Amino acid sequence: MTHIYYKNYHEDVYYDTLKNGINIVVLPNHHVKTTYVALALPFGASHLMFRDGDKEILLPEGSAHFFEHKIFASKHGDMFSKFVQLGLDPNAMTTYDTTSYYFSSTKHIYEGIDLLFDLLNEAYFTDANIESERQIINEEIHMDLDDVMTPLYQQLYRNMYAQHPIKSDILGTIESIANIDKKTLSWIHQNIYQDDRKTLFISGNVDIDVLRVYLDKKNNEVISKTGNIEFVTPNEDMKIVKSRDELVKDMTISRLLLGIKLPHQSDEIAFHKMKQSIYMTLHVLIGDASDSHQTWIEKGFIHQSVQYQITHLKYADHVTIHVSTNYPDLILADIEKALEQDIAQVLTYEIFLRLKKVMTAANIMSLDHNEHKMFQYMSVYFKGISLYDVMDALHALEYEDVIRYGNEFKTFSKSVLIARKKD
How far apart are the C-alpha atoms of 160 and 182, rounded to whole Å? 33
Q: Region 391-408: what's the mean pLDDT?
A: 97
244-421 and 2-232 share a CATH fold: yes
pLDDT of residue 227: 65
CATH number belonging to domain 2-232: 3.30.830.10
* Chain segment 226-249, per-residue pLDDT in tens: 668 899 998 889 999 999 999 999
pLDDT of residue 261: 97
pLDDT of residue 144: 86
pLDDT confidence tier of residue 54, bands split at 50, 70 and 90: confident
Residue 84: how many other CB atoms lie within 10 Å: 12
- Which has the higher per-residue pLDDT, 344 or 54? 344
In the chain, what percentage of residues exceed pLDDT 90?
90
What is the signed CA dihedral for 365, 367, 369, 372, rounded to 10 degrees? 120
Q: Region 169-180: what's the mean pLDDT?
A: 96
Whether pLDDT at 121 is above 80: yes
How far apart are the C-alpha atoms of 382 and 367, rounded to whole Å? 19
- Residue 253 to residues 151, 389, 418: CA-CA distances in angstroms? 15, 41, 11
Q: Is residue 43 a contact partner of residue 102, using CB atoms and an 8 Å limit?
A: no
Burial 15-50 (b: 16+ CB within 10 A, else e): ebbbebbbbbbbbbbeeeeebbbbbbbbbbbbbbbb
How far apart are the C-alpha atoms of 219 and 330, rounded to whole Å? 63
The three-point CA angle 281-316-355 to 5° equals 20
The architecture CATH gives domain 244-421: 2-Layer Sandwich (3.30)
Q: Region 109-118: what's the mean pLDDT?
A: 96
Whether pLDDT at 122 is above 70: yes
pLDDT of residue 75: 86
The whole model's pTM is what?
0.94
pLDDT of residue 224: 65
How far apart are the C-alpha atoms of 263 and 51, rounded to whole Å? 25
Delimit the domains of the chain by residue range: 2-232, 244-421
Q: Region 214-237: what's the mean pLDDT?
A: 82
Whether pLDDT at 223 is above 70: no
Q: Region 103-115: what's the mean pLDDT?
A: 96
Whether pLDDT at 221 is above 80: no
Whether pLDDT at 391 is above 70: yes
| pLDDT, the chain, mean | 94
* Chain segment 247-288, per-residue pLDDT in tens: 999 999 999 999 999 999 889 999 999 999 999 999 999 999
Q: Region 52-65: what's the mean pLDDT?
A: 94
Counting Cα atoms < 13 Å in the Cβ hemisphere of 355 gives: 22
pLDDT of residue 226: 63
One-letter amino acid identity for 328? P
pLDDT confidence tier of residue 225, bands split at 50, 70 and 90: low
* Chain segment 343-389, per-residue pLDDT in tens: 999 999 999 999 999 999 999 999 999 999 999 999 999 999 999 99
pLDDT of residue 420: 96
Whether pLDDT at 50 is above 90: yes
Q: Is residue 84 a contact partner of residue 90, using CB atoms and an 8 Å limit?
A: yes
pLDDT confidence tier of residue 220, bands split at 50, 70 and 90: confident
